[in-house]
Amino acid sequence: MTLADARACRILVADDEAPARARLRDLLDDCRAELPLVIVDEARNGREVLEIVAREKVDVVLLDIRMPQMDGMETARHLAAMERPPGIVFTTAFDAYAIKAFEVNAIDYLLKPIRAARLLAALRKASAAAPSREALA
């Protein structure tokens, strides 16, 4: 693991729609120059998110809200119960969930279509808040 990798923000992309995941990958690529980051994995529903988070070290979950199996809100509540929860950044086309999102301590709430600058700001906020990164500093 190189130094850059060690410092990189570890991101999990969670969305049930393939085009939405592809878009987030593109956007994250655009952010890479500004902020070192690694895409740990991708999940298609909340259950997969919990499996991946249990297995891998994840700093930030980019979490869609409307997903089959387990939706983003329920996933966020499960994550919040973890000892060292990853930061949650919701990504959704709905603005109706915004208040609920902050009840589950989301770091940010991004409305689709998402701008790269907005995503970068959210990741910066998440990195600053992540306990693992504080430990590294």
Partner 1 sequence: MPSINQTGAGIRLPNFCNLGVMLRVLVIANALVLAAAAVRATRPAEIAGNFLVGAAFAEPVLIVSLLLLCAGRRFLHALRYPAAIAAVVALEVALAWAWVAAFGELLPGGAPVSFARVALLVVFVTAVILAYFDLRARALAPAIAEARIQALQARIRPHFLYNSINAVLSLIRSDPRRAEQALEDLADLFRVLMADNRSLAPIAKEIDIARQYLAIEQLRLGERLRVSWRTGAMPADALVPALLLQPLVENAVYHGVEPLESGGEIAIEVSGTGEEVVIHLTNPYRPGGDHHSGNRMALANIRERLQLHFDAEASMRERAADGAWEVTIRLPYITAPR
Binding site for partner 1 (CB under 8 A): 16-20, 22-23, 26, 44-45, 66, 68-69, 93-94, 111-114
Least distance between partner 1 and beta carbon 18 (Å): 6
User: SS3 of 111, please?
Assistant: strand
Q: Looking at beta carbons only, is 112 or 124 nearer to partner 1?
A: 112
Tokens 């119960």 identify what position? Answer: 81
DSSP states of 41-107 as a string?
A: EEESSHHHHHHHHHHS--SEEEEESS-SSS-HHHHHHHHHTSSSPPEEEEEES-STTHHHHHHTT-S
Torsion region of 42: left, alpha or beta (phi above 0 gives left; psi -120 to 50 gives alpha):
beta
Instruction: Report the nearest approach of partner 1 to the CB of residue 108 (Å).
Output: 17
Q: Is the CB of 29 or the CB of 134 nearer to partner 1?
A: 29
By beta-carbon proximity to partner 1, the closer residue of 80 and 93 is 93
Would you say 65 or 123 has its CB closer to partner 1?
A: 65
Q: Least Å distance between CB 112 and partner 1?
A: 4
CB 90, min distance to partner 1, A:
14
